[in-house]
Amino acid sequence: MAGDKAVLLISCLDQRGIIARVSNHLYRLDCNIITSDQHTDDEDGHFFWRISFESQRLPVPEIRAELERSMDSLLPGLGLKWRLYDAARRDRMVLMVSRLPHCMSDLLSRRHVGELDADIVAVISNHPDLGPLVTPFNVPFTVIPVEKGAKAKAEETLLGELRALNADTVVLARYMQVLSGDFLRKWGKPIVNIHHSFLPAFAGARPYKQAHDRGVKLIGATAHYVTEELDAGPIIAQATTEVTHRDTVADLARKGKDIEVAVLAKAVRAHLQKRVLVHGNRTIVFD
Amino acid sequence: MAGDKAVLLISCLDQRGIIARVSNHLYRLDCNIITSDQHTDDEDGHFFWRISFESQRLPVPEIRAELERSMDSLLPGLGLKWRLYDAARRDRMVLMVSRLPHCMSDLLSRRHVGELDADIVAVISNHPDLGPLVTPFNVPFTVIPVEKGAKAKAEETLLGELRALNADTVVLARYMQVLSGDFLRKWGKPIVNIHHSFLPAFAGARPYKQAHDRGVKLIGATAHYVTEELDAGPIIAQATTEVTHRDTVADLARKGKDIEVAVLAKAVRAHLQKRVLVHGNRTIVFD
Amino acid sequence: MAGDKAVLLISCLDQRGIIARVSNHLYRLDCNIITSDQHTDDEDGHFFWRISFESQRLPVPEIRAELERSMDSLLPGLGLKWRLYDAARRDRMVLMVSRLPHCMSDLLSRRHVGELDADIVAVISNHPDLGPLVTPFNVPFTVIPVEKGAKAKAEETLLGELRALNADTVVLARYMQVLSGDFLRKWGKPIVNIHHSFLPAFAGARPYKQAHDRGVKLIGATAHYVTEELDAGPIIAQATTEVTHRDTVADLARKGKDIEVAVLAKAVRAHLQKRVLVHGNRTIVFD
Amino acid sequence: MAGDKAVLLISCLDQRGIIARVSNHLYRLDCNIITSDQHTDDEDGHFFWRISFESQRLPVPEIRAELERSMDSLLPGLGLKWRLYDAARRDRMVLMVSRLPHCMSDLLSRRHVGELDADIVAVISNHPDLGPLVTPFNVPFTVIPVEKGAKAKAEETLLGELRALNADTVVLARYMQVLSGDFLRKWGKPIVNIHHSFLPAFAGARPYKQAHDRGVKLIGATAHYVTEELDAGPIIAQATTEVTHRDTVADLARKGKDIEVAVLAKAVRAHLQKRVLVHGNRTIVFD
């Protein structure tokens, strides 16, 4: 009974009948809907839909071709955007790191035990330190140093590397450099970052120091898509953990590591499963 | 654009095309699907579906009559069960309590601020103590004492009362009597209980004492539907909270109160919104 | 064996021998230390100590008189501050509210079941709405309206009322007026506030709206001492809870209520048990 | 100002003056108490005390010699037990694993970044699979297979190995063999195990399958000291995480991994810092 699997993401203005029309259409194509999640934004009436389905007759590329012929006439006049992901095609993911290993090691480990639907095609760092920890996972480790005053050049090298790798997704797993707007525009594909605070509190540098100085009783971590404005992109996942007056800045960093790891893994997993849709500066994250 | 609102629950064997057929049918009845949640049990292939929709043309009773005519032929041979709930009809809920007020007061407060889609038509207790706390909420408070050796008689009175109240749902909000299988069968409608442990650990009497003796580092609370076997019914919601070696049994009871309240409120809310489906001894709880 | 109970709070510059000297002194006074918690600030070397003890021979007022004679010479030259609390003397607490009942009802309920070591001597509101919910608890409910342009007058009335009540602690349990610096200076005793965000994020008005607009995946609540700068006082307790893209601003308010209640109760309990010490704009909260 | 650091653990029957006598004694030895945590068991009157201090004059071995001379006369007739740990001496820890890497990799990583006060002197497994993941950490990896019917022989080898390594602490980081009572008695030193359920629920084999069958809404993990009765030893740390009807047994295992890792790390850290005291079948875990 198992057929080809795919995920269909749809966003458009809401209207009566969208679900009936599309599910009917997929039914006629011999596709069996496995999961279906929808959301309508109360404020602007936008409709978001994620369907995972199994195609019993046609391979996914033929489903795609068919949808390209039919979707616009199926849902006309609604500003429709849609995208079909073939479950057989694994995302090509690049991790970028600096000197702190915890997020990188965690993602490599999760990939190793089959928990992430992606190939990690490279780890790129501005420092050589973490190389040995990558070795057992058989993933290439590349150092692209960022010299003072030569950031543009480093970003050019990085861009070439990412393109050569044909990467789909970049994950900044505690990469301690700010990527320029110029780089972001040229790259143009999703970049997930982990910031070690509960944004919007403590954006920018040294968030654990900021948190300690303010005397908060929780610290947080935030995974978000990178946009040109620092630490201001659409949030995918957040978590907090308790701290006390006993905790120094170093203790906050130690305790914070665990939620950074958890939040980044959750966000990356959701992203890879095409469960995250961006709507303005907010995200819809289906379960 | 607002029409009559309703919730449709469907369970049947899974088969390709169910979603297409039903959503198409609702579309032809001028119903707009607002939310849709589905689940297929991997082990036995049962399919569960909850749809909330808005009917633009027909009132809900006519939709119901139409579905009664059509559903069996729409989904034949799948052991179909379905139920339609008119959102305009509020559940009639009865709270049963003994001497501890926290769960009762919380549910009364939530109802008071409009957080629960139900009328609380009575609070019934085997003790008079909590009466004064019910007064400000304008809900009748009835005492049905349970004399030693006269439980059957008390249950008969209770049954008469619940029937007279035309109650839909009974919530045992720390009611410290065990209801007999005979009573449960006669009553035949859902009863939600809060048990002050993380079931299946510490079922039965004095769970906080049991937890203390075992030296656990978390205590829990469990909301479940009542079945004849004590503390063994389908679980709706659970939560835990941290405890330490400093906590006496009394401290566990104090800390536990807060999660009892939270878990029961969550379960009752889900139940009233028809988001809970029972499947054997397990539940599906849609978000 | 039970004697008079008391709590001693000490803060001074750290030095070797403080614990030995004070515990020795209490031993000679026939006091048995029951709990002892200490903290040294790594940055400025301040030492904070909380001791609860049982006096086997002398009543607490005589212990206090004795400490007044001896403490300065026991710990000379360390900028010593200390305070002794007689456990037999219950704090006089005033709740201030506006129209939302949840925090008030929760504190009244906790007091009712003996969970808070205080007398709630009044509930004061700028609106009459919540009066009926206070009635069953036998606590006076007083309305002090705040007319537009007449805030100074209302604060004067409030100050008179608090003084007449001989209140020790004021709790702003969703009191929707900002108290002026002038009032705070005149009153001069601790005021605990609950703010419905994870401070420092979303200070000021409509934090749930701010949180929704930013698209956060957690919302928070913060209990803090009130200082002249709005929402910037020393934080006592914080908590967060998960939200999703489905949640409207009203949903955030509904979900947030539960953590407001939990955080405020935790902070008030710690404050009443003299477990909170203020150090600059931060707090030490002993377990 | 920094001197030699040490931790002193004391347990005895409670009596007035213990703190005064010991802190005085340490003061005369020129030791500065840095942290002090105490607990008295309400039921049996046992007193537990953990002091960390800095010795300004004497090295820790001389402090130990001095305490050996003085402690019995300082606290006579109280069934005193005490132990002094020199902070300069790092514990020698052995990890035991089978085929699942997550707990092992996490502990190796934490050690690598300096988060655990121990040397990991070996990883021992009954399978060769995890060897490559140990390589980057420069820790010997030893395989001791457990052949069917030859468990006693394997345990003998293991015992020899642990003795040769002069190990202080053994951590069963998802080691899938039950150690015999005979082995435990011969070894006689602490063994920390992680069990993948919220004990006492779901002890024994396949806890995630058991949890799935019962339909719980939370799954748990428990770190405990190993005793002869399976999964019944003193609990050090526990945590739970939410699951839903969507989660298969495999999903529970995936989600459970994260709390297994967190709970085991927390327990190992507390154990290594001598913050765990065993009292009957319960633990005192100081913060």
Within this chain, do residues C136 and C192 fall inside the same structural domain, yes or no? yes
Rounded to the nearest angstrom, the minimum Cα separation between D247 and chain B is 10
Cα gap C115→D212, rounded to integer Å: 37
Do B70 and B104 belong to one domain? no
pLDDT band at B6 (very low <50, low <70, confident <90, very high): very high
Collect all residues of chain C within an 8 Å Cβ-Cβ radius of residue A239.
218
The Cβ of residue C214 has, within 10 Å, a number of other Cβ atoms equal to 16
Interface contact flag, A101 D109, Cβ < 8 Å: yes
Is residue B105 helix, strand or coil?
helix
Query: Which ipTM was obtained for this model?
Result: 0.95
Touching B: A residues 172-201, CB under 8 Å: none
CA distance B152 to A6: 58
Which residues of B are identified as catalytic? 231
The minimum CA-CA distance between C260 and chain D, rounded to whole Å, is 22
Domain extent at residue C96: 91-285
- Residue C68: what pLDDT? 96
Q: Which of B202, B209, B225, B245 to mutate to test the interface with D (most CBs of D within 10 A)?
A: B245
Report the gap between the CA of B56 and the closest CA in chain A (Å): 10
Q: State whether residue D136 sits within 8 Å of chain A by CB.
A: yes
Query: Do C21 and C152 fall within a single domain?
Result: no
Contact list in A for residue D102 (CB cut-off 8 A) is 109, 113
Distance from chain centroid for Cα D268: 5
Q: Do B216 and D199 touch (CB under 8 A)?
A: yes
Contact A218 C199 (CB under 8 A): no
Task: Show which subunits contact B, needing at least 3 CB pairs below 8 angstroms.
Answer: A, C, D
Residues of A annotated as catalytic (active site), given as ranges: 231
3-state secondary structure of A120: strand
Q: How many Cβ pairs within 8 Å bridge chains A and C? A: 83
Could you report the per-residue pLDDT of A75-107, keeping only the tens digit for each? 999 999 999 999 999 999 999 999 999 999 999
With an 8 Å Cβ cutoff, are B20 and A26 in contact? yes
All residues of chain C having their beta carbon less than 8 Å from the beta carbon of residue A217 are 235-238, 285
Verify whether the Cβ–Cβ distance C135 to B133 is below 8 Å: no
- Considering CB atoms only, which of D24, D27, D38 is closest to C36? D38
Give yes or no: residues B39 and B103 share one domain: no
Per-residue model confidence as pLDDT tens digits over A7-48: 999 999 998 889 989 999 999 999 999 999 999 998 899 999
Do C141 and C20 have their domain in common? no
CATH number for position D219: 3.40.50.170
Residue in B109, B262, B287 closest to C102 by CB: B109
Residues paired with D182 in a beta bridge: none
Give the DSSP H/E element, type plus range, for residue B236: strand B235-242
* One domain, residues D81 and D100: no
Could you list the pLDDT tens digit for every one of the 287 residues in chain A? 468 999 999 999 998 889 989 999 999 999 999 999 999 998 899 999 999 999 999 999 999 999 999 999 999 999 999 999 999 999 999 999 999 999 999 999 999 999 999 999 999 999 999 999 999 999 999 999 999 999 999 999 999 999 999 999 999 999 999 999 999 999 999 999 999 999 999 999 999 999 999 999 999 999 999 999 999 999 999 999 999 999 999 999 999 999 999 999 999 999 999 999 999 999 999 98
CB contact under 8 A, B132 and C136: yes
Q: Say if residue A155 is in the same domain as residue A243.
A: yes
Mutate to test the interface with B, among C100, C103, C139, C258 (most CBs of B within 10 A): C258
Looking at the fold, whether C146 and C281 belong to one and the same domain comes out as yes
Q: Are residues B150 and B16 in the same domain?
A: no
Mean pLDDT of chain C: 96
Q: What is the pLDDT along chain C (287 residues), one digit of tens a residue?
A: 468 999 999 999 998 889 989 999 999 999 999 999 999 998 899 999 999 999 999 999 999 999 999 999 999 999 999 999 999 999 999 999 999 999 999 999 999 999 999 999 999 999 999 999 999 999 999 999 999 999 999 999 999 999 999 999 999 999 999 999 999 999 999 999 999 999 999 999 999 999 999 999 999 999 999 999 999 999 999 999 999 999 999 999 999 999 999 999 999 999 999 999 999 999 999 98
Contacts of B99 (CB under 8 A, 6+ apart): B127, B129, B130, B176
8 Å CB contact of B42 and D248: yes
Q: How far is D133 from chain A (nearest CA, A)?
A: 6
* Optimal mutation site among A34, A100, A103, A109, interface D, most CBs of chain D within 10 A: A109
Cα-flanking dihedrals φ and ψ of residue A223, to 5°? Answer: -100, 130
Q: Is D42 a catalytic residue?
A: no
Q: Last residue of a domain, which of B40, B71, B86?
A: B86
Report pLDDT for B2: 66
Q: Which residue of D has its CA nearest to A132?
A: D136
Q: Any CB–CB contact under 8 A between A115 and chain D?
A: yes
Touching D (3+ Cβ pairs <8 A), the chains are A, B, C
pLDDT at C1 (0 to 100): 47
Contacts of B135 in chain C (CB under 8 A): 135-136
User: What does the H/E/C string look like for chain C?
Assistant: CCCEEEEEEEEEECCCCHHHHHHHHHHHCCEEEEEEEEEECCCCCEEEEEEEEEECCCCHHHHHHHHHHHHHHHCCCCCCEEEEEECCCCEEEEEEECCCCHHHHHHHHHHHCCCCCEEEEEEEECCCCCHHHHHHHCCCEEECCCCCCCHHHHHHHHHHHHHHHCCCEEEECCCCCCCCHHHHHHHCCCEEEEECCCCCCCCCCCHHHHHHHHCCCEEEEEEEECCCCCCCCCEEEEEEEECCCCCCHHHHHHHHHHHHHHHHHHHHHHHHCCCEEEECCEEEECC
Residue ranges of chain D with per-residue pLDDT less than 50? 1
Q: Looking at the structure, do residues A55 and A101 belong to the same domain, yes or no?
A: no
B181, exposed or middle or buried, with CB in 10 Å at 0-12, 13-18, 19+? exposed
Instruction: Output the pLDDT for position D42.
Output: 87
Contacting subunits of A (3+ beta carbon pairs below 8 A): B, C, D
What pLDDT, on a 0 to 100 scale, did the predictor assign at position D2? 66
Measured between beta carbons, the chain B residues lying within 8 angstroms of D214 are 199-200, 235, 281-282
- How many domains in chain B? 2
Q: Taking the model in full, what pTM does it have?
A: 0.96
> Of A38, A56, A86, which residue is a domain's last?
A86
- What distance lies between CA D21 and its chain's CA centroid? 30
Contact C170, C97 (CB under 8 A): no
> Do residues D214 and D108 both lie within one domain?
yes
Q: Does residue C32 belong to the interface with chain D, where contact is any CB pair within 8 Å?
A: yes
What does the pLDDT read at residue B1? 47
B53 vs D275: CA distance, rounded Å:
57
Q: Which of A65, A86, A107 is the last residue of a domain?
A: A86
- The whole-angstrom distance between B31's CA and the closest CA on chain A is 8
- For residues C73 and C124, state if they share a domain: no
Specify the CATH number for the domain of residue C56.
Answer: 3.30.70.260
